[in-house]
């Protein structure tokens, strides 16, 4: 497997996956390279269901293995919200600033020691043949800040303080983020299921 379709049109995610796959010698194509492919409606009730919907569609339509992630922010004080609705938490149109503002508003009276949260990621790999799909999970524990800080990353990164850090995910470098992110951990777990991705030829 020397090429994989990453089923996303999110430029931020595309860059992250490209950085993660580069050491494995795998060429990454994304839906940005296949503008003719239709959008997949994320109708699943879990991260795993949504990830598989996207990966399966891309694999069938391109004839190549496809990987998709569904990820989001899970906040304890909000009973797990925004969860699978993270991308459109503030409305149908994806708007990072509006999403962050909604989270801050809902947590306005929640004290620092009760703002626990985690980024969760489920990766699904679908194949164009009849092989069973593969799944891997990754989590990054942390807390929610009281205001947005930082210019790096995307989504909820300016609000999320990773465990062991005093700054938000948006204040650390992309390289460092890739060592602690939920997506990086999910990919690391997926590599154990796909030894050929590690370049050992098995």
Task: Give the residue ranges of the annotated binding site.
Answer: 8-13, 41, 70-71, 154-157, 177, 182-183
Catalytic residue selected from 56, 69, 70, 96: 70
Our answer to whether residue 200 is catalytic in this structure is no
Query: Which residue from 168, 187, 170, 159 is spatially nearest to 71, judged by alpha carbons?
Result: 187
* Binding residue ranges for substrate: 8-13, 71, 154-157, 177, 182-183
For 165, counting Cβ atoms within 10 Å of its Cβ (0-12 exposed, 13-18 middle, 19+ buried), the class is middle
| 179 half-sphere exposure, CB direction, 13 A CA radius | 4
CA dihedral 67, 68, 74, 79 (to 10 degrees): -120
In whole angstroms, give the CA distance from residue 199 to residue 162: 31
* Binding residue ranges for Mg(2+): 41, 70
Q: Give the DSSP H or E segment for 75.
A: strand 66-75
Tokens coding 33: 């390279």
Residues 6+ positions from 83 with CB-CB distance below 8 Å: 72, 73, 74
Helix, strand, coil % (nearest 5) of the chain? Answer: 40, 20, 35
Active site residues: 70
């Amino acid at each position: 497997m020397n090429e994989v379709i990453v089923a996303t049109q999110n430029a931020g995610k595309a860059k992250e996956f490209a950085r993660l796959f580069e050491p494995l010698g795998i060429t990454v194509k994304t839906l940005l390279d296949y503008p003719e492919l239709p959008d997949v409606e994320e109708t699943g009730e879990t991260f795993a269901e949504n990830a598989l919907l996207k990966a399966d569609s891309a694999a069938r339509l391109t004839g190549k293995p496809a990987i998709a992630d569904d990820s989001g922010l899970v906040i304890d004080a909000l009973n797990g919200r925004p969860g699978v609705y993270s991308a459109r938490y503030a409305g149908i149109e994806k708007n990072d600033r509006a999403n962050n503002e909604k989270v801050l508003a809902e947590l306005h009276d929640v004290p620092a020691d009760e703002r626990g949260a985690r980024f969760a990621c489920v990766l699904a790999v679908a194949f164009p043949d009849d092989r069973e799909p593969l799944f891997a999970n990754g989590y990054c524990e942390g807390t929610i800040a009281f205001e947005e800080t930082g210019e790096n990353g995307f989504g909820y990164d300016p609000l999320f303080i990773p465990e062991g850090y005093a700054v938000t995910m948006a204040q650390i470098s992309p390289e460092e983020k890739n060592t602690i992110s939920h997506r990086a951990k999910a990919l690391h777990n997926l590599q154990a299921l796909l030894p050929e991705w590690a370049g050992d030829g098995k």
